[in-house]
Amino acid sequence: MGWWGKILDWFNQEPAMPFSLDPEVPPIKVKGKGATGSYSPGAQEEAGTTGESEQGSSKPGILQKVGSFFSRKGKGDEGARGPAPEEPSVAPDLDKNLLTVRRILHTDRNSDVIIREFLLPVGKGIRAAFVFIDGMVNLRAVNADILRPLLDPDFAARLARGLAAGNVEKLFPAAATTLHDSMRKVVTETLMGNLALFVDGLGKALVVDVKGWEKRPISEPVTERVVIGPHEAFAETLKVNITMLRRILRTPDLICELLEVGKVTHTQVAIFHIEHITNPRLVNEVKRRISSIKASYVAESAILDQLIDVPRFWMVPHAVLTERPDRFAGAVAEGYVGIMVDHSPFGLVVPITIADFFSSAEDIYLRPPAPTFLKLIRASGMLATLILPGLYIAAVTFHHEMIPSVLLQAIAASKEGVPTPTPLAVFAGELGFDFIREAGVRVPSPVGPTIGIVGALLIGDAAVRASLLAPVTVIIIAVTAVASFTIPNQDVATLVRIFKYVFIVAGSTFGILGIGLLLYVVGVYLCSLRSFGVPIVAPVIAGGPSARDVVARRAVWKMEHRPRFLRPEGIRRQPPVSRTWTLARPLRPCKRK
Amino acid sequence: MSPSTHNLGYTETVALLAAYTGSKVFTSCPSQLVYLSSTSAWITAMLSVIPAALGVIAIYRFVDRFDGITFQRCVELTIGKPLGKMVGLGFLSLILGMDAIALREFSAGFKSAILPETPLNAIIVLGEAVTAYTATLGLEPLGRFIAIAFLPLSILLLAIVFGAFHMELSIAELFPLWGTGAEHTVLGSVQCSSLYADIFAFALLVPYVREEKAGQRLHAGLVSLGLSGLAMAIAIAVGMMSFTAPTLAQMLFPVLQLARLFLSGIFLERIEAIFVFAWLFFGSIKVAFGHWLAASLAADIIGVKRWTAFVWPSAVITYFLAIQPENLTDLFVFQVTVLRSVGWLVAYVLPAVLLGIAGLRGIGSK
C-alpha cells in the first residue's frame, strides 16, 4: 500500500469505540424516504469493521473507494509464514522422552534438574524415571509418597494393572496427580515445582503435585497499615492467597479462574469474581486482555497492571493495587473483578475509579462521617500537592491582589535580601525535598529517618540562614511535602509529585491562567479515561444511590446498593431494612409497681 | 462520522450546552444587550429566550426526523448533496466565527484582568493549543468535565453575584422597566435572540445524546437555553444596579468589573483571580466544544470518519480569525451591528426552513 493510500485509509478510519459495560444498544430504526434499515454500534464493534453504518451511507464515498483501492493486499500476503511447528508429545519410548526432556531443560548445564531412572519391580522390571527441579519440591514427600511406594512390588503390580487400564491417577497418596501427553505441558508443570513420572511404554507422563519450597509466612501489611481491621497481608504464593480469600468469601459463587501468562515466566494468574453479582462483560474483558498477552516476563501484579492498560491510560493507574485480603475480598463482593498473580503479594482490583485514589483500606471500618471527612482531607492534600507551589509563585509574581496587604508586606519583608527568584527557589526546594524522600527510601532503614530529618534541617534552616530561600518558601515546600503523604495510592502520589513541577512551570510563566488551563486539561483528560469500560470519574457523575456511597460514605446499614457504574447483575447489597431488629416492638422500661 | 462513538447523558448535555451558550455572560454580551435595549436589557435577555426556544424546537424536530444520523446528513438528505454541503459550509463558517470571537474575547479578558504584561498573542496561542488538545479527546470528556464542574462553578458565580448585594446596589437603576418602550423591547427580543445563536450546537449534538425517556433531548436543549437566559438576565440586572445602564453599555467585561467590586472580607481583598477560574473553565469548554463542532461538521461535509484530523486545522483557522480585529471595540461594534442582525436568521430560521422542506417532501419522518 502506498503512502497516499495509507493517508486516505487513516481519514476513513473511525476512532475506536471504547469498551463499555452497558448492554448492547438496540439497533436504531430510521424510516422514511431515502432512509431505510438500521445500525447497531455494538454489532459494528464486534465485527471490527470500519465501514460507515449510518443510513443512506451504504455506498462508499469517493475517498473510501480510492482508499480501499490503495489498501488492497497483494496476492500471497496471507499465510506467508507457513504452519506453526508441531508440538512434541510424550512418546511410549522412555529413552526418547528423557532425551526430549534433557534437550528442553538443558540438563547438560542446568545442574538443579534431577532425572532419576529406576526399575519398577514388576516381572522382569519396567523402566521408569522421574524428573523434578531440586529445591522446588518437597523431598520428604518425594521419598515417602512416590519413591518408596514405587519400589514396593505390590504397589508396582497395582501400578502395572493401572497402566494397562489407563487409570493411575488415584494410586498415589499425594495431593494431586494428572496424566499429560503434551511434553510442553509436562515440562511447564515440572518448572512449577511438580514431579513428572515417565514409564516405559505408557505414552503419557504422570505429574504429581509435590511442590515445596521456602516461602515467606503471612505477615502484616507494609503499605496499607490500619488501626482497625485485620492485620494480615497477601503472601507471594498464589495458593495461600486464594485460601485467604476463600476464608473471607465463603460462597460457592466465588469463581477463581486460572490463566497462564509470560512466555518465559509461565506465571499463573487467578481471576476472581462472584457469579450472579459481577457483570459477565467485565469478567470476559478481563480474561480477554490477560489471555491475549504475549509478553515474555510477567512476574508481578504491577507488571500485569501495565500490560492490561489501554494506551491513553499510561500515566494513571489502571487498577487498585492492594496487599490486603479484606480490601480485595470487599471489592470482589461489590462486583469488581480481582486479579492475583503468582509470586506477587499484591492483588489487582479492576476497574478503578477516581474515588479509589482517595480511599484507604480502613474507610469501611470507620463510622460516618469520618470516612467522608478523611477522603476530603486526602483530596485536599492531593490538590495542595499539585497546585500549592505553582499557586504561590503565581500569587507572588503575577497576582499580588490575591494576597491581603498585611500578608503581602510580611512576605515582601521575608524575601528581602534573598536574591533567588521565587520560581527558582520553589523549584529547587521541591527538588531538594524529593532528593531527601528518595534517599530515605533507598538507604538502610535505621539511617533513613535520620537522613530525612538532617536533610530537612539542612534545606530549611541552612538555606534560610544563607538567604537562599525565604521562610515563606520553606513553609510552602513543607506544607506541600506533608500534604503529599496524605495520598493513599502510591501510583497516584508519584504522578502528583511529577505533575507538581509542571504546575510550577505553568504558574511561573502564565500565573493563574497557566494553572487554571492546566487544571482544565488534567480534568478533561481524567474525564476521557475509562477503566474496563467504566469512566474513572463515574462515581462523581453517574448519580444513583451507589455514587453517594462511593464519594460520601453513609452508615453501613444504609449502603443498600452496589456501585451502579459496574452494571452488576445484583445491584442490591442488602434489603431496605437490613437491621430487622428495628422492626420489632421496642423494649420499654418496666414500670415500677 | 457515526454517532455511535459518543454517548452523552442528559446532565452532560445540559451542562455542555448551557456552558457553551451561557458563557457569553463573561464577555461583552451583557453590555451589547444594554447598548441595544437600555434599562430593559435584563427583560430582553429573558424574552429573547422565547424565539430562541422556538428555534430549538425547530432544530430538534428537524434532526429527530432522521433519528440516529448527523445533522449534515439530515441536511443532505433533505436538500440534496451539493446544496447540503454548501449549507454545511455556511454553518461551519458560523461556528468558526463564533469560536474565534469567543477565543479573542476571553484571551483579551484574561490579559486585561490578570496578565497585563503578557502579549495577547501568547495567551491566544496557549488557549488555542489547550482547547484544541481537549477537543481531540472527544465529546464525552468535555461533557463529563463540565457536568462535574458546572454546579460548583455556578455556585461560585452566584456567590459573587449575591455577595455583590452587600454593596450599594440601586434598584432605581432598573427603571424605567421597559427602557425604550414595551413594543420596542418585545420586538427587539427577536433580534436579540441572536445572543443565544450558539444553541445551534444542539443541532449537531442531538444524535449523540442518549434518550432514556421520550422527549429528554428536547428538554435538555430547552433547559440549557433557559439557564443561559437566566444567567444573562441576572448578570445584566446586577450589573445595571451596580454601574448604571449607560456605564454598563460601555464596559467590555462587565462581569469581571463586578467581581472586582466584590470585597470578600479581610483575607481575600479582591477575588478576581479566583473568579478567573470559573471564567477560564467556561471559556475553555466553549472554545474546545466549538473546535469539536467545527471538526465533526467538517468531517461530515467531506464525508470522512476521522473527525479528529480536523481539530487542529480548525484551531489554526480560529486563531487567524481571532487576531483579525484591531481591538475589542471593533469586535464589539461588529457583534452589535452584524451578528445580532443575522445570527438568529442562520441559527433558527434556516433549520425551520429545512424542517419545512423535509415536511413537504416527506423525508425522514419517523
Q: What is the CATH number of the domain that holds B177?
A: 1.20.1740.10
Structural domain contains residue A214? no
Per the prediction, chain B carries an average pLDDT of: 84
Whether residue A513 lies within 8 A of chain B, CB to CB, comes out as yes
Structural domain contains residue A579? no
Check residue A449 and give its pLDDT.
Answer: 67
Check residue B366 and give its pLDDT.
Answer: 58
Structural domain contains residue B366? no
Note the pTM of the prediction, 2 decimals: 0.82
Helices (H) and strands (E) in chain B, counts: 18, 0
From A55, A63, A512, residue closest to B304, measured CB to CB: A63
In tens, the pLDDT along A286-336 reads: 999 999 998 888 888 889 988 888 877 778 888 999 999 999 999 999 999
Count of domains observed in chain B: 1
Whether residue A181 lies within 8 A of chain B, CB to CB, comes out as no
From B2, B268, B280, residue closest to A52, measured CB to CB: B2
Structural domain contains residue A127? yes
Structural domain contains residue A87? no
Same domain for A254 and A149, yes or no, is no
Structural domain contains residue A396? yes
**Can you tell me the distance from the alpha carbon of A146 to that of A399, in angstroms, rounded to the nearest whole number?**
81
Residues of B in contact with A521 (CB under 8 A): 130, 133-134
Same domain for A393 and A498, yes or no, is yes
In tens, the pLDDT along B35-82 reads: 887 888 888 889 889 999 999 999 999 988 887 788 999 999 999 899
In tens, the pLDDT along A524-555 reads: 999 999 898 888 888 887 656 666 677 778 88
Name the band, by pLDDT with cuts 50, 70 and 90, for residue B263.
low
In this prediction, what percent of chain A has a pLDDT beyond 90? 22
Structural domain contains residue B339? yes
Structural domain contains residue A590? no
Residues of A in contact with B274 (CB under 8 A): 402
**Reduced 3-state DSSP string for A168-204:** CCCCCCCCCEEEECEHHHHHHHHHCCCEEEEECCCCC
The domain boundary, picked from A190, A208, A226, lies at A208
Question: Can you give the residue range of the structural domain that contains B236?
Answer: 3-361
Per the prediction, chain A carries an average pLDDT of: 80
- Residue of chain B with shortest Cα separation from A515: B277
Query: How big is the A-B interface in CB pairs under 8 Å?
Result: 183
Same domain for A322 and A385, yes or no, is no
**Can you tell me the distance from the alpha carbon of A213 to that of A333, in angstroms, rounded to the nearest whole number?**
32
One-letter identity of residue B356: G
Same domain for A202 and A245, yes or no, is no
Count of domains observed in chain A: 4
- The SS3 of residue A145 is helix
Q: In Å, how far is A401's CA from the nearest CA of chain B? A: 6
Same domain for A171 and A52, yes or no, is no
Check residue A78 and give its pLDDT.
Answer: 41
**Can you tell me the distance from the alpha carbon of A185 to that of A162, in angstroms, rounded to the nearest whole number?**
22
Contact A517 B363 (CB under 8 A): no
In tens, the pLDDT along B216-247 reads: 889 999 999 999 999 899 888 888 888 888 88
Nearest in space to A50 (alpha carbons), one of A60, A38, A62, A36:
A60
Structural domain contains residue B17? yes
B257 vs A587, higher pLDDT: B257
Residues of B in contact with A519 (CB under 8 A): 277
Structural domain contains residue B98? yes
Say yes or no to pLDDT of A587 above 70: no
A54-68, A85-99, A507-521 — most confident range: A507-521
Average confidence (pLDDT) over A376-390: 93
Name the band, by pLDDT with cuts 50, 70 and 90, for residue B301.
very high
The domain boundary, picked from A352, A387, A409, lies at A352
Taking only residues 375 to 414 of chain A, the set having a beta carbon closer than 8 angstroms to any beta carbon of chain B reads: 395, 398-399, 401-405
Q: Which residues contact A280 (CB under 8 A, 6 or more apart)?
A: A569
Check residue A20 and give its pLDDT.
Answer: 72
In tens, the pLDDT along A19-40 reads: 777 665 444 443 344 333 333 3
**Can you tell me the distance from the alpha carbon of B260 to that of B239, in angstroms, rounded to the nearest whole number?**
12
Check residue A329 and give its pLDDT.
Answer: 94
Beta strands in A101-229 (DSSP E): 113-120, 126-133, 177-180, 195-199, 205-208
Say yes or no to pLDDT of A48 above 50: no
Same domain for A387 and A506, yes or no, is yes
Same domain for A443 and A513, yes or no, is yes
At what angle are helices B272-302 and B139-163 packed, to 10 degrees?
A: 150
Check residue A333 and give its pLDDT.
Answer: 92
In this prediction, what percent of chain B has a pLDDT beyond 90? 32
Same domain for A427 and A522, yes or no, is yes
Say yes or no to pLDDT of B176 above 80: no
Question: Can you give the residue range of the structural domain that contains A392?
Answer: 370-535
A347-350 vs A337-341, strand pairing mode: antiparallel
From A61, A528, A543, residue closest to B137, measured CB to CB: A528
Structural domain contains residue B124? yes
Same domain for A528 and A387, yes or no, is yes
Structural domain contains residue A571? no
Say yes or no to pLDDT of B207 above 60: yes
Same domain for A379 and A347, yes or no, is no
Structural domain contains residue B287? yes
Say yes or no to pLDDT of B291 above 90: yes
Laid out side by side, the sheet with A337-341 consists of: A254-261, A267-274, A337-341, A347-350, A320-322
Same domain for A375 and A510, yes or no, is yes
Say yes or no to pLDDT of B161 above 70: no
Residues of B in contact with A41 (CB under 8 A): 2, 4-5
Whether residue A514 lies within 8 A of chain B, CB to CB, comes out as yes
Check residue A586 and give its pLDDT.
Answer: 65
Structural domain contains residue B330? yes
A180-184, A269-273, B25-29 — most confident range: A269-273
Say yes or no to pLDDT of A389 above 50: yes
Contact A404 B130 (CB under 8 A): no
Same domain for A506 and A400, yes or no, is yes
The domain boundary, picked from A55, A70, A85, lies at A70
Q: Which of A49, A401, A513, A525 to mutate to test the interface with B (most CBs of B within 10 A)?
A: A513
From A11, A28, A62, residue closest to B67, measured CB to CB: A28
